Amino acid sequence: MEQAKRSAPWLPILAIVLLTLALRLPTASFTSLSIDESAYSLVAAEILRGNWPYSHAFDHKPIGIYLHYAGVMATGLPHLIAVRLLAILVAIGSSLFIYAIARQQAGASRGIATGLGLLYTLASIGLEGQPTNTEIIVNFYLFAWLYAFGFRDQRPLASAIGAGIAAGIAVQVNYLAGPVLATLYLGAFIANPKREFRWLLVSGLTSIGTALSLLVPMLLAGTLGEYFAMQASFLSVYRAPRPEYWLRKDLTEIAQVLALPMLLFLGLLVYRFKEVPFIRILLLALGAILMASSSGYFFPHYFLLFWVPFFYLLARAVPLGEPKQVRIAFIAALITVEPAFLFGLAETAKGVEVTRDVMADRAPDGDRGQRMRIAFADEFNPGATSYITCEKPVLYHLFEQRPATRYPFYILHMYPYLEGFDTPAHLAEIRAAAPEHVMVGKLCPTQETQWVREAFADYVEVKNVEGTILYRRPDLVAAR
């Protein structure tokens, strides 16, 4: 039996992959995208057409997130499926890194290491972890860094370069990764400055080089300066506080999901402080929480970052001690992630229901985007250019339309996304593109609706469904 176990080292890896797929695939809604996913995928679609960010489409994240989206969308799968599969792939990757860290750095048995990897799958479903947000991708690269750090003695150069590449990519997926990574570098340096300096220097320089290299295409395209200016403008207003109702609702969910994990985290960290990298883990946790809270918005998915220090500590601490202690620690970890998993199932239940309705060709109550697709599908010509405002940007995908604007936000002109934004000039730009259709969503503020109607005064209203109005270019009305 022991020989069979030794001869099949791939079995735990296969188990993690298959069980993660079994847990995440049924709960992943492949029929819709969040507003963030919609915007990222529209920028990625322009990249696949050969246009770099800002030249034809802009959103406020760094270039790395769009490259990841473009990579999966280039497979030829329908965009909605490709985007959601990316979250599943990086979740599998993170679970595998946790397994490897537990085996490599704590001597965990295969069973315990596999279990810890699968616990991450359960936890990552919660806190809005099903959509492909930046945090779930950043987590993958943070775990990659921690894994590479464990090889700094055996393979110092290769591990430093590998960790640096992971760090550089993470920063270009979400800027918040930068301060979190800084805590990793600082924690390692404080623990043993003389021993770690060279490794950290090589890794740090590699990360800077990697991050800068991802900007080269925009430099060549001549859009880099404008890209940075608009990034700074967007981020300067992104710190505005959220409405109290949503803030209270999301903070309640965050507290309920993270209360038990934080208690276990603090308990394990204190109990095993001599046997785990105490300073590094503590600084990493502080960095993750501070960055998740820094904008003042407190979206649940920001706090996915906490799973990195939490599971790194589990991987290093749970395998320690007598078998009975290991079992108790693992059961405690399982109990603490259960709220995240249950919240995740509750979040995804609506998506599963929507998927069933869409597959049955019914208009789903739980997804306005799909209802709009069914209601307006016959009105659009695939591949045409249109302008959609005050509805989810995913409609561009569902109607197979190209945006007539490079700012595919939900409501652009009424909210100060971009400082000093010239609304009349922007609408004139869209008008000059002669979009076939203009769609104005039900939730459009009165002023937004008025601006759009004035800019497209000659467009003809052709359909009104649930308060969402579709206007068609006048020459096309005659043709129909």
DSSP letter for each residue of 351-382: HHHHHHHHHTT---TT-HHHHHHHHHGGG--T
Answer yes or no: do 383 and 328 share one domain: no
Answer yes or no: do 345 and 374 share one domain: no
φ, ψ of residue 219 in degrees (nearest 5) = -60, -45
Answer yes or no: do 386 and 279 share one domain: no
Q: Rounded to 10 degrees, what is the CA torsion of 217, 218, 221, 226?
A: 180
Answer yes or no: do 385 and 429 share one domain: yes
Domain, as residue range, for 238: 11-351
Q: At what angle do helices 307-317 and 244-271 cross, to 10 degrees?
A: 20
Confirm whether 357 is domain-assigned: no
Task: Note the pLDDT of residue 238.
Answer: 58
Give the number of domains in the chain. Answer: 2
Task: Note the pLDDT of residue 60.
Answer: 79
- Helix (H) / strand (E) element for 295: namely none
CA distance 290 to 236: 18
CB atoms within 10 A of CB 325: 12
The C-alpha angle with vertex 22 and arms to 16 and 23, in degrees rounded to 5, equals 90
* Low-confidence winner among 291-295, 334-338, 416-420, 426-430 (lowest mean pLDDT): 416-420
Is the separation of the CB atoms in 395 and 408 below 8 Å? Answer: no
* Low-confidence winner among 20-34, 242-256, 437-451 (lowest mean pLDDT): 242-256
* Low-confidence winner among 235-244, 293-302, 361-370, 449-458 (lowest mean pLDDT): 235-244
pLDDT per residue as tens digits for the range 301-346: 999 999 999 999 999 999 998 999 999 999 999 999 999 999 888 8
Confirm whether 298 is domain-assigned: yes
Which residues does 314 contact at the CB level (< 8 Å), separation at least 6? 98, 102, 116, 119, 268, 333
pLDDT per residue as tens digits for the range 183-229: 999 999 999 999 999 999 999 999 999 999 999 888 888 888 878 87
User: If we measure between CA atoms, which residue out of 97, 67, 71, 91 comes closest to residue 82?
Assistant: 71
Answer yes or no: do 159 and 86 share one domain: yes
Answer yes or no: do 183 and 224 share one domain: yes
pTM given for the model: 0.93
Confirm whether 3 is domain-assigned: no
Answer yes or no: do 272 and 395 share one domain: no
Confirm whether 81 is domain-assigned: yes
pLDDT higher than 90, residue 447: no
Answer yes or no: do 374 and 445 share one domain: yes
pLDDT higher than 90, residue 115: yes
Confirm whether 18 is domain-assigned: yes
Amino acid at 362: R
Answer yes or no: do 251 and 169 share one domain: yes
pLDDT higher than 80, residue 461: yes
Task: Please provide the average confidence, as pLDDT, over all residues in the chain.
Answer: 88
Determine what percent of the chain is predicted with pLDDT higher than 70: 92
Task: Note the pLDDT of residue 4.
Answer: 46
CA distance 447 to 371: 25
Answer yes or no: do 281 and 314 share one domain: yes
Confirm whether 83 is domain-assigned: yes
CA distance 301 to 307: 11
Confirm whether 356 is domain-assigned: no
pLDDT higher than 70, residue 236: no
Confirm whether 187 is domain-assigned: yes
CA distance 410 to 404: 14
3-state secondary structure of 239: coil
Task: Note the pLDDT of residue 340.
Answer: 92
